[in-house]
Structure 1
């Protein structure tokens, strides 16, 4: 059986989504090890999955919390530049330390999150087969499709196309520190020039949590790109959750969550609670540990029927008549699967692009998390509850999710693309046979085999 390495951003949502694939691989007899800075190991919480810490000098224990705070609330343009600097620093650390760590642990192949360029760069440099996985919206670029981080609606008119092209130039300029890091390591590894996440993807297989009906119309995805739907696992040890409260029959029930990184936004939660009170609905608000007890009680006084840290999300959505969300991909896909209309309040990362796709698919409405008043949210919530057209479109899209194959299909694709046949054992795909010894990989002629030695050299 094979030993798979996982390379992903040091954020819980990415580790958690990939854990579904990792645990399916473990169930099939493989071994899986994550590689990231020390603090990220706390995201796993499952002894069936291995973790190898990197970056002890540059990213020592205790430093991830500040990175996550900046990512959740960058604030000013200067704050955004710091977030981009954090991305560049992580990619730089992984490119420097991952090769020796892969050698030391005997990894055969990599599973690389699209949002971390180091995985693809290192794998290609070492002749190691790898697949790319989109836990968020795919970063694959093509003309006529706005970037995932952009809030634009889909359009084919000249004005829309100019707007997409201009916004891409602005994005690339802002990402210069990260782009330069990718470019520098690609050059050091002896790879062809590249400078963006979209240029560090696998030539063997690319797997996405999305389904076609949820994304904008695509015409230029590679043949080895696969929409498989949400990565879910019954084997995953979940965060301790409160059971669903006693939801009264005959009165609409709304579930609200802003995800694991945005649950601290009390002001937004208060507007949501007031809107739900005005609409006469029951509200369960899950803040994912972002609020303290005093703030939770304040939220109840504003109109929330129940407030908790973590709720069983899929179970809540199955009961809910509507969901109010930051439009994170995981929540959107869970809502589609449950046929629950979405009021999207996009905050950061790819939330704006996800919310635009929710509206394009006709499965929800979009509001500004910053400027929408409680009265405006009330009106939109009532529209979600009363307009039957959302249910029709959700039925069609939920069918897409049900047929997509999910985690088992994703792992079938991974095993096949990497040349693994259960009856035969592990064999790398043709043309990507593993380089015998990392010391011969371009850019690593003098690399010591031990990662601790590499850090002290």
Structure 2
């Protein structure tokens, strides 16, 4: 089997797709990640590159990000067909956030498997879009509210929808208008831990909740120059790789943790200058840390509610205080609160006093850690990349034999 994998060049998404590609290769299949120029992969994964110059750096503002995503989709549709015909894939694995994968698969008549590195985008009654931190609600009121959220999303995503409609029309693909129309109808591979997502009883039977695709990496040691004081809680605070520039919020988090009587380690992912980092009132401030080792040592993680960090906390049995910022983080934060493994603060609740109170609540109530440990106890059963490839083989192999 020959697989081509298509994903936006976001670090966490690339790492997930590399894990899938490595597992496919270990099974004897061909696996190639198709990227724009200038994207570097890790772990010796095969790569095919579109022609032309590298794309501009990923913007941080939401509307600019949407426009950049639309340009990326347009470029992929314009330039990828010739590359894909040469690679002759038996299946395309497409990131749910890149609609070009679904358009190209349909245009070429190749089976599509959607990959949800973040909260799944698959429509489901009662489940709000991932960027909304609303609860699961199948009442008439909940359905109306979700429909309103979808109308707002459609307006925001107009640049991308225009690109989708243009290429769907050019390739005679039928009534394909928006990102959700480009998803696989057969199989979605989700990094959600079983039991963490909202229930999907109606249309979600094709979604496999497998946990993180990246599993079993060699654990790094806890930093030797960070020596927490015994008997005092240790809190790890991180806003991820794309939001670590928010020095003001990191400072409020650090001050709140210290007011709650805890030690705090802040990681900013290299997004701050040395001067900005020194101004944060934490016990330790680092650009990067071995996150797995830190999570195993910490008593609480204050997080932006990125899905990867949330899953790593659940795997470590670590409770969370979620401060969602953008993308699917409101949806992840809502799920953290729903499953009982932590608390979530809304944007208007992020003053120092409110954060300190929430930190104290999570540290002093063992129920949050108990719920996180429940997920940790089940983590060994998460299927990860191995189960993902099992599902891909089950979908594609019968179709290949039928065409022979």
Q: TM-score, normalised by structure 1?
A: 0.83
Q: Please point out which of 253, 259, 267 is paired with 2:248.
A: 267
State yes or no: 1:104 paired with 2:86.
Answer: yes
Q: Which residue of structure 1 lines up, in the alignment, with residue 278 of structure 2?
A: 297
- Which among 339, 352, 355 is matched to residue 377 of structure 1? 355
SS at match of 1:183: helix
| Cα distance in 1 between the residues matched to 2:9 and 2:253 | 30
Which residue is 1:280 aligned to?
261
For residues 399 and 121 of structure 1, the distance between their equivalents in structure 2, rounded to whole angstroms, comes to 40
Q: Secondary structure at the match of 2:385?
A: helix
Q: CA deviation at 1:254?
A: 0.8
How far apart, in 1, do the equivalents of 2:307 and 2:197 lie?
A: 11
Structure 1 contact 133–208 (Cα < 8 Å) conserved: yes
Cα distance in 2 between the residues matched to 1:243 and 1:125: 54
Q: CA deviation at 1:391?
A: 2.3
Q: Give the distance between the partners of 2:14 and 2:206, measured in 1 at CA.
A: 23
Number of the residue aligned with 1:250: 231
Alignment partners' CA distance in 2, 1:211 and 1:233: 13
Relative distance call for 1:401 and 1:266 in structure 2 (3 A) is same
Of 161, 177, 183, 2:143 maps to: 161
Q: Residue 349 of structure 1: SS of its match in structure 2?
A: coil
Q: Which SS does the other structure have where 1:64 is aligned?
A: coil
Instruction: Give the structure 2 partner of residue 428 of structure 1.
Output: 400
The 5-angstrom pairing of residues 36-75 of structure 1 reads 36-39=35-38, 41-42=39-40, 44-46=41-43, 48-54=44-50, 56=52, 60-61=53-54, 63-65=55-57, 68=58, 70=59, 72-74=60-62
Question: Contact between 2:244 and 2:272, CA under 8 Å: does it hold in 1?
Answer: yes
**For residues 241 and 251 of structure 1, what CA distance do their matches in structure 2 show?**
17
Taking the aligned partners of 1:255 and 1:395, their CA distance within structure 2 comes to: 17
Any gaps of 5 or more consecutive residues in structure 1? 75-79, 421-426, 435-457
| Alpha carbons of structure 1 residues 181 and 241: separation in structure 2 relative to 1, 3 Å | farther
Work out whether residues 254 and 321 of structure 1, in 8 Å CA contact, stay in contact via their aligned partners in 2: yes
Are residue 23 (structure 1) and residue 22 (structure 2) matched? yes
Residue 300 of structure 2 is aligned to residue 329 of structure 1: no
User: 1:237: Cα distance to partner?
Assistant: 12
* TM, length-normalised to structure 2: 0.93
SS in structure 2 opposite 1:101?
helix
CA contact (8 A) 1:257 1:263 kept: yes
Please say if 1:186 is aligned against 2:155.
Answer: no
Checking the alignment, whether the CA contact within 8 Å between 2:215 and 2:384 is kept in structure 1 is no
Q: Is the 8 A contact 1:417 1:429 kept in 2?
A: no
